[in-house]
Amino acid sequence: MSGMKMIDKNAAILMSNTPHLAKKILRKEIRGLIAQQMAAEGNWENIREKESASVVKKLVSSERFLNAKRLSIYISNEQEICTDDVVRKALREGKEVFIPRFKKGAERMEMLRLESETEFDSLESTLWGIRQHPAHLSPTAFDETHAKSNVTPKLSQTPKTFITEPLDLVVMPGLAFTTSGKRLGHGRGFYDRFLNDYAQKYETAPKTIGLALKVQLVDDLPMESKDRMVDLLIHA
């Protein structure tokens, strides 16, 4: 489907449905479009790698990333901008990095501290193919001494989460975005709940950045009262 046809169809969906129903329809359309491109192009990995490199370069040179000392970064799946290099750069620069953990049946995600590249490399794919801390562990972190050595890392007994202090930045995934910052998530509401809970706790909100592949850009998206826009969208 061409970009213009997608825009025209998108507009028709928005005009003829409630925001909630329009989002359900658009998710199906956009997932189908992504799957179609993945199958048709034959070189999806190269496209994703090239677009990810462009987006990541813009992100890590942005003032918001450079100034952030504590930030949350999503761990990407194969249909999103790859964030591995963002995570590694942040860790190497001494930033405090927090990544989401999802649990089956839970309505809210947790943000757990990622201590090192060693720990990052040890993460395994779990729900929805996303690498994250193991579900059976309480919020924990790998022991720093072992993380800096060649010894297999041990789990620290000291729980570490972002809860004690605010975050400077949240790098968010999404199924689709507009260039103005509207975001369509995957339909589970994790980030909307997280940001709304965060705002209640800290009486403010962290800066947010969305990352998008070209295929994830749309002309407009439906919004409901609980939905959060991103402050900045960086796209291919």
What is the reported pLDDT for 181?
Answer: 97
What is the reported pLDDT for 103?
Answer: 86
Q: Is 158 helix (H, G, I), strand (E, B) or coil?
A: coil
185 assigned binding-site residue: yes
What is the reported pLDDT for 145?
Answer: 36
Cα end-to-end distance, the chain, whole Å:
18
191 assigned binding-site residue: yes
What is the reported pLDDT for 178?
Answer: 96
What is the reported pLDDT for 220?
Answer: 92
183 assigned binding-site residue: yes
Residue 1 lies in a domain: no
65 assigned binding-site residue: no
74 assigned binding-site residue: no
What is the reported pLDDT for 18?
Answer: 85
DSSP structure string for 112-153: EEE--HHHHHH-EE-GGG-EES-TTS-S--B-HHHHTSSSPP
Q: What is the C-alpha to C-alpha distance for residues 36 and 136, in angstroms, rounded to an integer?
A: 36
184 assigned binding-site residue: yes
80 assigned binding-site residue: yes
CATH number, domain with residue 127? 3.40.50.10420
Print pLDDT tens along the chain (236 aa): 444 445 445 655 655 678 888 899 999 999 998 888 888 767 888 999 999 999 999 999 999 999 999 999 999 999 999 999 999 999 999 999 999 998 888 899 988 999 899 999 999 888 787 899 887 666 544 444 334 445 444 444 344 565 568 899 999 999 999 999 999 999 889 999 999 999 988 888 899 999 999 999 999 999 988 899 999 999 99
What is the reported pLDDT for 139?
Answer: 58
Residue range of the domain that includes 139: 44-235
Q: Is 196 helix (H, G, I), strand (E, B) or coil?
A: helix
Contact 148, 116 (CB under 8 A): yes
210 assigned binding-site residue: no
190 assigned binding-site residue: yes
Residue 167 lies in a domain: yes
174 assigned binding-site residue: no
Residue 207 lies in a domain: yes
What is the reported pLDDT for 34?
Answer: 87
Residue 179 lies in a domain: yes
Residue 91 lies in a domain: yes
How many domains are contained in the chain? 1
What is the reported pLDDT for 155?
Answer: 43
Residue 216 lies in a domain: yes
